[in-house]
Amino acid sequence: MRIVITGATGFIGRSLCRDLCGDYDLVALSRDARKASGIVGQYARVVEWDGRTTGPWAGEVSGAEAVVNLAGENVAAGRWSPARKADILQSRTHAARAILDAIEMAKDKPKTFIQASAIGFYGSRADETLDETSAAGTGFLAEICRRVEMIAERAERLGVRWVIVRTGVVLGAGGGALPKLMRPFRFHLGGHVGTGRQWFSWISLEDQVRAIRFLIENPGARGVFNLTAPEPVTMKAFCRALGEVMGRSSWTAVPGFVLRLALGQMADEVLLAGQKVVPERLGQMGFEFKHRDVGSALTEIIRGEKHG
Ligand code: NDP
């Protein structure tokens, strides 16, 4: 059984490949086959694509068990200039369209299509509890998610089971947000940003991968799923937990205006925005999280990093 994964060389994709490779034949679509072979070559057959148009790679989609689209420019890699914002948006819309074109052309349609989205869909929402039925918010991230999700829903017309994963902040070793969040604590400068009252909806990398596998393997899963741990925390509580696990105090508070000066719009949407998101639909389907509590998740991740 074949699973085609785009963005397989990324933080989530690498772990997903490692997890799935024992049970599936994996095809990693990458814009740079040489680089990808070095990263996921032991788990997957690497096939080159350009991330935006169909090509010979499209044949891999036919007859696949699932196609998982994780491709997109990293949102937090740099200040959001107009050019960077265009790259962030178009890398996602073009990749999703190319995959759906390939699915449309496939004689033997894949069974499942999984599209990455994010809890940025909900915008910044104070203390409101957000489940999959909550309305979209405003802002650049909400706009990207809304547009990508609209493209992904085309799978319905093509008769393919589709799943959109609205993912929270993924916490794991070796990538994503956690190393950046840990850095000030290493220098005894740890603390929350803004008021610290904004909600921080997180998921461990291990649960992120387990949830994607669950959604691939569960034919009853269809539509939008929030991929966040069942117990979101405030930014202040998260920083306290991180400080405790690292043996450092969480004592500073970086005011919002300083972050805005340094990071511009990204500060508002990524660090100062809050969303209290719950994984309602995963819970209804009986998915069991390994990490529910942020303190124990951080302990396991950081201890694993030290010993791994
Ligand atoms: P990464 O940034 O680590 O990896 C994304 C992958 O996408 C890269 O390895 C790259 O693969 C591919 N890519 C990068 N730029 C482009 C482009 N211009 N066109 C096509 N492909 C491109 O992402 P993550 O693994 O962290 O996340 C995967 C998905 O999940 C993303 O869409 C992300 O927005 C979403 N997400 C992630 C969260 C997180 O906390 N990590 C939170 C919420 C959502 P290659 O170079 O091999 O082509």
46-78 burial, b at 16+ Cβ within 10 Å, e below that, comes to: bbbbebeebeebbebbbebbbbbbbbbbebeee
Q: What are phi and psi of 53, to 5 degrees?
A: -135, 160
Q: Is 9 in the pocket of ligand 1 (CB under 6 A)?
A: yes
Q: Is the pLDDT of residue 103 over 90?
A: yes
Q: Is 201 in the pocket of ligand 1 (CB under 6 A)?
A: no
Strand partners, 116: 165
Q: What was the pLDDT predicted at 253?
A: 84
pLDDT digits (tens, 9 = 90+) for 239-278: 999 999 999 988 888 888 877 877 788 788 888 889 999 9
Q: Is the pLDDT of residue 117 over 80?
A: yes
| ipTM of the prediction | 0.99
The domains of the chain, with CATH numbers, are: 2-175+203-228+278-289 (3.40.50.720)
Q: What average pLDDT does range 50-64 have in this prediction? A: 97
Q: With bands split at pLDDT 50, 70 and 90, how would you rate the model's confidence at 78?
A: confident
Q: Is 71 in the pocket of ligand 1 (CB under 6 A)?
A: yes
Q: What was the pLDDT predicted at 267?
A: 81
Q: Is 31 in the pocket of ligand 1 (CB under 6 A)?
A: yes
Q: Is 91 in the pocket of ligand 1 (CB under 6 A)?
A: yes
Give 13 Cα–ligand 1 centroid separation in angstroms: 8
Give 153 Cα–ligand 1 centroid separation in angstroms: 20
Who's near 261: CB < 8 A, 6+ residues apart? none
pLDDT digits (tens, 9 = 90+) for 2-24: 999 999 999 999 999 999 999 99
Q: What average pLDDT does range 27-40 have in this prediction? A: 98
What gap in Å lies between CA 48 and CA 31, rounded to an integer?
A: 6
Q: Is 177 in the pocket of ligand 1 (CB under 6 A)?
A: yes
CA-119 nearest atom, ligand 1? 43
